[in-house]
């Protein structure tokens, strides 16, 4: 198929590469041109210098960083009005439920199809084409893009016809990730206050009750006190928790645990974790308990 | 070895059975005699009618329900003073850090060894001899009882010489379990408010990011709205969270997430979850969001 | 002086009336024209049909409902560009810190002065000219408008030269109001669970330790279970708490208590308090404790 | 009347002095004898060396420090069994609801009357005989002691026949005090993050919306950063919040705001506030936001 791909960060790059590798004709655009040119020279994608030139063909994928970038390109930048008639736009980004709703409306007004397809998985998983991909939108549109999505995903998880559902689920999932990390951080500090080492505690938990990727990845980082470079950057974790809170508030859903996460993440940022991984929530728990101070 | 075992609930019964099956001479006592007699008739344990008669031999295991039962038997009931000289007492129960410290002192005063060995695992895991067992106490005492513990456990997790460390870790672990359930409950209600079914959401999460026993077991119960009979009874979950809070407060460790759990659990109990499983935290999240009311 | 006044809700109306009564030439505009015409016929203000016609003279006061209304009139509606050169704009509304910063910039670009002057006080206090008014902005601008502000306020509270400071303080104050109400709600339910009536408890507290307006006003409403018509509407309380949270997050200030308020307010809205006063937080606390259910 | 008074800390001393001054025959006992002897030499009370010698006459007042001291003297120390037949015991201390219930039972068993009469007010208020006193117990017992109570109190607040009700209300009140302080602490830090001084902010709030004793007393301490010597010691504040939580949990009342207070108080203690006033909650809020760090 003839497709466009907009947004070539670590995730977008890996996903677009899989489309190219599967034999599709992929036109790529990225804000900083280097990423697109690299895809062109290495894999044979076609790099273009403006997003509207990628918005031609049957399907447009986008994986922009956040709400702001998505708004700038599609709404303020006018890309919505430059898309080929009949195109399906598949948005893989983690954006707000409110923006997903707005985009769905704007596409509908113009006779374009909009599919939300956010993903769970890190860049290496994306490169392997093994993402878990949530998919929500009109049935016919999804059927059309399914072969493309299957080149990127280990499994597609259908979430119904309203695109924002996939976004709500993605945010709920990221909320659960941050919850798990906060829980592990608080529990570790409790154990440490009784003289048990963080690594002993974390090894126990992540090889028994919590032998799942989230606990193992962030637990390892905590045990090793290795918070840079970030895998999941703490400011992005705060952004996602706040988007989950917004989604919850819009539908009047109290989420007291999300509120605790928000405060801990803000406290982390106030205390030097701007460039760190979410695992640095452990630092917040330590500082509250003054673990360093008491060792002396 | 000649050992005693006190406290034959579902867990204690399975653990004592493994000791018998391994060829040890096990004298058993339980508050209600039936459990002990059953072990005698089925497996050849020796049932006795008072706990002091089980406190003879080399090692005494106990698995009493909680602090109160442990206090009644060992401290108020005088069992401490009836134990054979030189005995090692291995306490498998989930008790408070404060009581663990007190018991360690009382044993030391009498020249008795005290080992804390709380476990992670449900009765079926105990029956299979596959528990994860935390072990803390004097090195020589642990060496002596290790062959016994290995008949019950897939793995022993050494936690140092101070018995209460194992209890702190056990409570930290149970806190993490309840955190996971609350997180799943809040996230599910968010997804449901956007029209995604609980079972779709939970299947997604527990087969991808959170493919670990805790999420799968409680997630399944939530998806099926099956809250009775309880696997982990909600009032016991509250008890354990409060013991974790006590342990944290004693060492001045703030645990804001534990506080959220406490309030949710109390709210559950105020609203009919007395006889339910911890998974009924989903009910609290639903009620707060008035999910039922909005369906009309 | 020749002044304009935009936004004639209950508060704006009372404030504009005081300006007229003090002898100023006041041109008034309101979205729905009736309020402006009433001020014209009763007091001799001059009602105009478009906001730009009120933006002529020396000073423009505005008291629009929220961020959205303020944005629509001043930014999207172009009023910024229609103001007389040299005018001082005094904004009395409770708006976000972010919008206050943006407005300050937009005014500066056009050589206009911008003063933030949000107020504490209900409409009856405004009518009596007894408001407590926070004032932040350029010194010369404030000096110029001081005589006007003094017709409305019992006291002016200078907050420095940066306009958003006054907004941050106003939001901090509203946060404290909602905190007080939540505290009273939780405490009352505790007392009631022990058989003490809400009115006995509230009378005690609000005539001894907490003999201040906030506790007395909301306490009376709680004791009488009188939640409509709202004095301070609960959805506006949530809006203000969320603005306080936004202001806090922008400057990396954790506010765990604000987070609790947010969740309680959302829970209230999910359960029928849309048209009620903030005092209806008492209903949330009651429902959590199932006070009604246990009485049966 | 012939009365005894046990427990002569700052509060008890002031209260007993008023009884003596009103002409009653007061026998006093205190753990450290100096306080009792001082009352004897200055005012003509009769100091005794054991508590049972104060438990003779018509009424026994007690104002011991906490649950532990009360238990030690009345239950473990056997004072319950040494009281004159027909005596009324009036307990002014801030104790747990659980202990109040137990004491009520123990008195009833022995045919003694038990009245709970905890107070609001600091030592200077007690000295002036102007306390607000909550009173709960059997009607006839209260009638009998009323003249004594009126020498100490500005007003008696009847709370019904069950003694623990007065304790629940006292704890609810102390919870509200700590809530007010936490609210002021968080709000001040928000204002400070925007460049407003703590003293400007606090003066505004405590002379307008929150012009009541609690806000004024603790606000002044915060504005002056004067945390020692403590008026209301922070560890006692934590004790009372925890007693309120215990009372709430016993009756299944969720109190999410109390949970936030608990964590903040523990964090304060972990970071050096052991000997400080409750106003030092401001320090916790500051540290979380790293206010000092950002000034640099």
**Residue A184: helix, strand or coil by DSSP?**
helix
Q: Which of B2, B109, B146, B170 is catalytic?
A: B170
ipTM above threshold 0.95: yes
Mark yes or no for CB contact C200/D157 under 8 Å.
Answer: yes
Residues 6 or more apart from B271 whose CB is under 8 A from it? Answer: B283, B284, B287, C290, C293
Asked if B271 and C290 come within 8 Å (Cβ–Cβ), the reply is yes
From chain A, the residues in CB contact with D287 under 8 A are: 287
Question: In this structure, what token pair is assigned to residue A210?
Answer: 């919590």
> Mean pLDDT per 10-residue run, chain A (296 residues)?
96 97 96 92 93 96 97 95 94 98 97 97 95 98 98 98 98 98 98 97 97 96 97 96 98 98 98 97 98 78
Query: What mean pLDDT, rounded, does chain B reach?
Result: 96
Chain A, nearest residue to D294 by Cα: A270
Cα gap A33→A52, rounded to integer Å: 14
Q: Tell me the helices (H) and strands (E) count for chain C, helix number first.
A: 15, 9
Distance CA A159, CA A120 (A): 14
B296 pLDDT tier (thresholds 50, 70, 90): very low
Given pLDDT bands bounded at 50, 70 and 90, which one contains residue C294?
Answer: confident
CA distance A94 to A239: 10
Q: What domains can you pick out in chain D, each with its CATH number?
A: 2-161 (3.40.50.720), 168-295 (1.10.1040.10)
CB B180 within 8 A of CB B214: yes
State residue A200's pLDDT score: 97
pLDDT at C296: 47
DSSP string covering C160-213, please? -S-HHHHHHHHHHHHHHHHHHHHHHHHHHHHHHHTT--HHHHHHHHHHTTT-SH
Q: Which residue has the higher pLDDT, B43 or B192?
A: B192
Residues of chain D predicted below pLDDT 70: 295-296
Going by the DSSP 8-state scheme, the letter that residue B140 receives in this structure is H
Contacts of residue B248 in chain D, CB cutoff 8 Å?
266
Q: What is the pLDDT of residues B111-136, one digit of tens each?
A: 999 999 999 999 999 999 999 999 99
Per-residue buried b or exposed e for A163-173, using 16+ beta carbons within 10 Å of the residue's own CB: bbbbbbbbbbb
8 Å CB contact between D154 and D132: yes
CA atoms within 13 A on the CB side of C33: 6
Distance from CA of A232 to the nearest CA of D (A): 22
Question: Which residues of chain B does A177 touch, with a Cβ-Cβ cutoff of 8 Å?
Answer: 209
Torsion of CA B117, B120, B125, B127, to 10 degrees: 30
Look at C271 and B256 and tell me if their CB atoms are within 8 Å: no
Residue of D nearest to C97 (CA): D194
Q: Tell me the catalytic residues of C.
A: 170
The residue behind tokens 């991808």 is B208
Residue D283 in contact with partner chain C when CB distance is under 8 A: no
* Residue A257 touches chain C, beta carbons under 8 Å: no
CB contact under 8 A, A267 and D256: no
Residue partners of A69: CB distance under 8 A and separation at least 6: A7, A31
pLDDT for position A97: 98
> How far is D22 from B252, CA to CA, in rounded Å?
46
Interface touch D97/C194, C-beta < 8 Å: yes
Q: What is the pLDDT of residues B75-102, one digit of tens each?
A: 999 999 999 999 999 999 999 999 999 9
Could you read off the pLDDT of A92-122 as tens digits, one per residue? Answer: 999 999 999 999 999 999 999 999 999 999 9
Yes or no, beta carbons of D269 and B252 under 8 Å apart:
yes
Q: Phi and psi of B212, rounded to 5°?
A: -130, 160
A140 to chain B nearest CA, in Å?
Answer: 20
**pLDDT of D42:** 87
Strands (E), B191-275: none
Q: Are strands B113-116 and B88-91 parallel, antiparallel or unpaired?
A: parallel
User: Percent of chain A having pLDDT more than 70?
Assistant: 99
Residues of D in contact with A293 (CB under 8 A): 270-271
What does the radius of gyration of chain B's CA atoms come to, in whole angstroms?
21
Residues of C in contact with B290 (CB under 8 A): 270-272
Nearest CA in chain C to A272: C252
CA distances from C201 to A276, C5, C190, D258 (A): 49, 44, 10, 18
Q: Cβ contact (<8 Å) for A257 and B182?
A: yes
For chain A, say whether C262 makes contact (Cβ under 8 Å): yes
Q: What is the mean pLDDT of residues C74-94?
A: 95
> Using CB atoms, which residue from B256, B270, B289 is nearest to C270?
B289
């Amino acid at each position: 198929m003839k497709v466009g791909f907009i947004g070539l960060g670590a995730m977008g790059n890996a996903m677009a590469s899989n489309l190219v590798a599967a034999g599709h004709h992929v036109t790529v655009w990225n804000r900083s041109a280097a990423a697109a040119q690299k895809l062109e020279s290495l894999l044979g994608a076609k790099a273009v210098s403006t997003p509207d030139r990628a918005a031609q063909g049957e399907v447009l994928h986008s994986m922009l960083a956040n709400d702001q970038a998505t708004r700038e390109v599609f709404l303020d930048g006018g890309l919505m009005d430059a898309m080929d008639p009949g195109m399906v736009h598949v948005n893989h980004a983690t954006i707000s439920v409110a923006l997903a709703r707005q985009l769905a409306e704007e596409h509908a007004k113009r006779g374009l199809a909009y599919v939300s397809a956010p993903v769970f998985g890190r860049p290496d998983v994306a490169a392997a084409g093994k993402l878990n991909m949530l998919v929500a939108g009109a049935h016919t549109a999804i059927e059309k893009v399914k072969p493309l999505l299957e080149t990127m995903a280990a499994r597609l998880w259908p979430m119904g016809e309203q695109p924002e559902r996939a976004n709500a689920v993605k945010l709920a999932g990221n909320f659960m990730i941050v919850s798990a990390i906060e829980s592990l951080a608080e529990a570790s500090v409790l154990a440490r206050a009784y003289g048990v080492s963080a690594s002993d505690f974390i090894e126990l938990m992540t090889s028994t009750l919590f032998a799942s990727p989230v606990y193992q990845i962030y637990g390892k980082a905590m045990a090793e006190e290795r918070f840079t470079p970030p895998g999941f950057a703490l400011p992005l974790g705060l952004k996602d928790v706040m988007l989950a809170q917004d989604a919850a508030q819009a539908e009047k859903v109290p989420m007291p645990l999300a509120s605790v996460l928000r405060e801990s993440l803000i406290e982390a940022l106030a205390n030097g974790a701007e460039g760190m991984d979410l695992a640095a929530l452990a630092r917040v728990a330590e500082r509250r308990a003054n673990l360093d101070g008491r060792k002396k």
